[in-house]
Structure 1
Amino acid sequence: MTFNTKAEADAHDKMLDMVDELVPLLARSETVSDEQTLEDLAFFLAREREQVLIALGAKKQTKKKAPKPAEGDAG
């Protein structure tokens, strides 16, 4: 895999490290027996780590501000 910046490569490496930690954790649950499904789930959780942290209460969800109407728009 090729990356345009060092930051992108570092982020990918960090995600792979998370997957390495998540696979044994998920395997302990014994709810997923298929190795490929286990890895796919670990990748999904690693990619969605921000939402996982919010769901666990470890991080607050940032509120998106509504865009301001342009001048002259009714609203």
Structure 2
Amino acid sequence: MSPAFGAMEVEHYSKGVLLEPFVHQVGGHSCVLRFNDKTICKPLIQREHQFYETLPTEMRKFTPQYEGKLPNL
């Protein structure tokens, strides 16, 4: 788990974490959910994950902040 996720306050329920639909989705992914005010969750595409994990530091200010993968909550 990314350290950023570990620092987030997560409201736990008996069966997991409450995620809300992300209403500002334009297109692309079929299921985008809102984790909190600054973080969304979406299905993991291995190629996209690899892109963010290997993105040069100089380019990160031009891309969405990648928090990493969440464990099965």
What's the TM-score bracket when you normalise by the shorter of the two chains? under 0.3
More strand by share: 2
Larger radius of gyration: 1
TM-score by length of 2: 0.20
More helix by share: 1
Which of the pair has the greater relative contact order for Cα pairs under 8 Å at 6+ separation?
A: 2
